[in-house]
Copies of this chain bind each other. A is one copy, B any other.
Amino acid sequence: MENFVWKCPTRLVFGKDVIGTVADFVQSENGTRVLLVYGGGSIKKSGVYKTVTDSLKNAGIEFVELSGVQPNPRLSLVLEGIDTVRREKIDFILAVGGGSVIDTCKAISFGDAVPSDKDIWDDYFMVKGAPIPKGINVGVVLTIPAAGSEMSNSCVITNEKTGYKRGVNHENNYPAFAVLDPQVCYTLPPYQTACGAADMLSHMMERYFTPTENVDYTDALLEGAMRTVLQYGPLACKNPTVYEYREQLMLAGTLAHNNLFGCGRVQDWASHWMEHELSGLYDIAHGAGLAIMTPAWMRYVYKTKVSRFVQFAVNVMGSSMSIADEDKIALDGIARLEDWFKSIGLPVRLSEVNINGDRIDDMVKQCLDGGRGVAGGFKKLYAEDLAAIYRIAL
């Protein structure tokens, strides 16, 4: 293992009917005047909006609303939120939604705390490793299990003017709390459930495919976690209102990305980077983009360390060790993963979402911009490698 520091201070509040207690957790973080951030009308239809606002009102907590967060959340709404926080003297930000809403809130929080001579986009999102300032606290009521942002240090925003989608990771990004009731997932359509499952699985795979020789403790945890998503993802798609399926998937999604499973290891993230360019340019669902890019990435890199792909095939995907040679076992695991994506209704080729190869060069260029130069921890990938992977995905 590499040396590491891990701290995840988010309070996880999980279970049936816990959303009505959200005001207790706002108050325990000294929130008195809340910016309530959400997307469109789905939280009003589902009743989550009423449960949250009733809880705040009953506790005497004032709130101001900021709605209209879109998937692949926009920088412009972040800037609007920062203005609102300052104008309305907000001291707590409550995200009610999925990853896009949560990331918008994280960016508003630290954006409000950025020194006046710095620019939130140019000096933080476009600069890898910039130290994120600690802003006012963010709390979460999660409605879509997928991004894992509710318990992560990550924040991904799209600059709709430049088409760049960029993430920043920093300890100050952890929410103060995350309230999760699996019952809110009952109304999620199967496609959205499937996209969520693909995203969580990807957060695990990005950490699993590490260049180390050792098979270690974290592998054992990750393999159990991945098998859980493979098992419960399809069940939740087919039976949307079974609590047990929803709770297993929701917990798996949250723990997938708090980086416990990334401790002490070089991680990959090339599939995520390449997907960010896809969804940044074409606005497709992140989970769908991952279902396309991940198998393509795997086919391009597996020979770099075939033993790890054999381990993945056998311990996670259920491939048989009796297959004749290592390459074949590795490819069998990749094929099984692709079949699993298809089984839950996800695309596995760019052509299925009407994307052709016209803008591969643009995506490759953007992917390596901002001082990155190279992608991937499992195998270092340069421009020609990324172009080849996009072409495999066509």
Contacts and interface: CB of A to CB of B under 8 A. Distances in A.
Given A7-B9, A8-B8, A244-B214, A264 B14 contact: yes
A11 B1 contact: no
Given A5-B14, A12-B6, A15-B3, A220 B216 contact: no
A231 B105 CA distance: 44
Interface residues of A, number: 38
Q: Which secondary structure dominates where chain A touches chain B? A: mixed
A220 B216 CA distance: 15
A323 interface: no
A227 to B, nearest CB: 6
Nearest to A181: B3
A250 to B, nearest CB: 10
Contact of A263 (B5, B14, B225): B14
Q: Which of A221, A244, A255 has the most CB atoms of chain B within a 10 A radius of its CB?
A: A221
Contacts of A221: 221, 224-225
Given A224-B224, A264-B15, A248 B6 contact: no
A25 to B, nearest CB: 9
A221 B251 CA distance: 12
Contact of A4 (B8, B9, B15, B227): B15
Interface in A1-32: 1-16, 18
A14 to B, nearest CB: 5
Contacts of A1: 14-15, 247, 251
B9 A14 contact: no
Contact of A7 (B5, B10, B18): B10
Interface string A219-236: 111011101100010000
Contact of A220 (B5, B227, B244, B247): B227
A220 B214 contact: no
B15 A248 contact: no
Given A7-B10, A14-B263, A14-B264, A217 B223 contact: no
A260 interface: yes
Contacts of A11: 5-7
Contacts of A219: 224
A5 B9 contact: no
Interface of A: 1-16, 18, 214, 216-217, 219-221, 223-225, 227-228, 232, 244, 247-248, 251-252, 255, 260, 263-264
20 contacts: A1-B15, A1-B247, A1-B251, A3-B15, A4-B14, A5-B12, A6-B12, A7-B9, A12-B263, A14-B263, A14-B264, A216-B228, A216-B248, A217-B225, A217-B251, A219-B224, A220-B227, A223-B224, A247-B264, A251-B264
Given A4-B12, A214-B244, 11 more contacts: A2-B15, A3-B18, A5-B12, A6-B12, A7-B9, A12-B263, A216-B248, A217-B224, A219-B224, A220-B227, A221-B225
4 closest Cβ pairs, A-B complex? A3-B15, A220-B224, A7-B11, A9-B9
